[in-house]
Amino acid sequence: MEYDNIECVSSIDGLNEDEIHHHNLHHPSPHHGHHPFSSSKPHNATNNANNSNMVNNIVGATGITPATSVHELLECPVCTNSMYPPIHQCQNGHTLCSTCKARVHNQCPTCRSELGDIRCLALEKVAESLELPCKYYNLGCPEIFPYYSKLKHEAACNFRPYNCPYAGSECSVVGDIPFLVAHLRDDHKVDMHTGCTFNHRYVKSNPREVENATWMLTVFHSFGQYFCLHFEAFQLGMAPVYMAFLRFMGDEAEARNYSYSLEVGANGRKLTWEGTPRSIRDSHRKVRDSHDGLIIQRNMALFFSGGDRKELKLRVTGRVWKEQQNPDAGPCIQNLCS
């Protein structure tokens, strides 16, 4: 693969690992206005005489729970995830989640006694009374939720880590955007460029022998944001095609603030595409399979390549602009888009 007329970024600001990694249910900053483990309901010692000792140990007279106690009580000892009903316990009082109960063959992982079908109703009731911070609190989420609502929020939290957008392999790395930018640069060795215009030439010998291929990802820094340019070959029905598309390194709501155009052509003909970049919350495969990008049939791509049409030499040009800007207003001004 070859690249033309693109100025490479020489360096990217370093990162502090403490700002990247997240942990479940850590103490929040002392500047936060709410205690993360406060009870949403006042403790009533008369509610359940059988459970009062356990509830008193957990909630206490003030309704404020030590973080370590809540974390230990509501964390499954097998998978270390937070437990949700049904919470199971053995005859000695050791608890675990319903998912792990099936995995341990009905044997308590702590004392090896038989689990049976005992529910820890007291712990389930205590969990119902708690309000906890989002587990992505250390990544910036300020929200606090009732225990049983927290899981739904976390599945769509805007502060949850992003998956690595690299398309050449199934990379399992997750992190925030600065971390992933450094990861793409240092670990995947992707090309890093700056500016809001691009001019790429994709080359492939014997293109008729390759039905599926992924070219090296390219990352652009523009408008203070990062964009991923993808180029792939695949089968669309029975027709071999090439597809170019852009993904935004951020959430979907932010991605809608930008637009982009792509163009290929030669010999007095051209194909153009204009659209909104997709968030990297959507995998590159999902974007590709939705056909949300510039699609070129292989015969047309080889026609644009010129020569004897036995080698792919396809030039893709394009630009990114903020939605309030006019894409026909002239060339991009560097200090407005870098």
Q: Tell me the average pLDDT across 175-190.
A: 95
pLDDT digits (tens, 9 = 90+) for 281-327: 999 889 999 999 999 999 899 888 887 777 888 999 999 999 875 55
- Residue, of 233 and 28, whose pLDDT is higher: 233
DSSP 44: -
Tell me the C-alpha distance between 275 and 288, whole Å: 14
263 in Cβ contact with 317 (< 8 Å): yes
Task: Check pLDDT > 90 for residue 214.
Answer: no
Listed in sequence order, the residues at least 6 apart from 195 whose beta carbon sits closer than 8 Å to its beta carbon are 6, 7, 220, 221, 222, 332, 334, 337, 338
User: Which band of pLDDT confidence, cut at 50, 70 and 90, is reported for residue 90?
Assistant: very high
pLDDT at position 70 is: 67
What is the chain's alpha carbon radius of gyration, rounded to the nearest angstrom? 27
Q: What is the mean pLDDT of residues 60-83?
A: 66
Of 63-72, 171-180, 209-218, 220-229, the least confident: 63-72
Q: What's residue 227's pLDDT?
A: 97
Whether residue 43 has pLDDT greater than 60: no
Report, as an integer, the average pLDDT of 248-268.
Answer: 93
Between strands 225-236 and 239-248, the pairing is antiparallel
Any residues with CB less than 8 A from the CB of 183 and at least 6 apart, and which?
Answer: 164, 173, 175
The helix or strand, by DSSP H or E, that contains position 21, with its residue range, turns out to be: none
The residue whose two tokens read 């989420």 is 141
Please tell me the distance from the alpha carbon of residue 183 to that of residue 189, in angstroms, as a whole number: 9
Structure tokens that stand for 179 in this block: 């971390």
CA atoms within 13 A on the CB side of 27: 8
The pLDDT value recorded for residue 328 is: 57
**What is the model's pLDDT at position 267?**
81
Above 90 in pLDDT, residue 218? yes
* The pLDDT value given to residue 1: 39
pLDDT over threshold 90, residue 262:
yes
Measured CA to CA in angstroms, residue 300 lies from 165, 221, 309 at distances of 28, 31, 10
Percent of the chain residues topping a pLDDT of 70: 74
Cβ neighbours for 133, distance < 8 A, ≥ 6 positions apart: 25, 28, 36, 141, 143, 144, 145
* For residue 137, pLDDT beyond 50: yes
DSSP strand pairing (191-194 vs 218-222): parallel
pLDDT on residue 74: 86
Is the whole-model pTM more than 0.85?
Answer: no
SS3 65: coil
pLDDT of residue 273: 96
Q: Which domains does the chain have, with CATH numbers?
A: 70-156 (3.30.40.10), 162-322 (2.60.210.10)
Top mean-pLDDT range of 36-45, 240-249, 304-313: 240-249
- Specify the pLDDT at position 326: 52
CA-nearest of 175, 255, 172, 181 to 218 is: 181
d(CA 137, CA 161): 12
Q: Output the pLDDT for position 278.
A: 97
Of 40 and 187, more confident: 187
d(CA 36, CA 74): 14
pLDDT at 288: 92
Q: In whole angstroms, give the CA distance from residue 246 to residue 193.
A: 14
DSSP of 78-113: TT-SBP-SSPEE-TT--EE-HHHHHHTTTB-TTT--
CA distances from 9 to 165, 194, 221 (A): 19, 6, 8
Element at 52 (helix H, strand E): helix 52-58
* pLDDT at 208 > cutoff 80: no
Q: What are the E-state strand segments in 189-283? A: 191-194, 197-205, 213-214, 218-222, 225-236, 239-248, 258-266, 269-275, 278-279
Whether the CB-CB separation of 45 and 56 falls below 8 Å is answered with yes
Cα–Cα distance between 30 and 246 in angstroms, integer? 41
**Strand 239-248 vs strand 278-279: parallel, antiparallel, or unpaired?**
parallel
Strand-pair partners of 272: 263
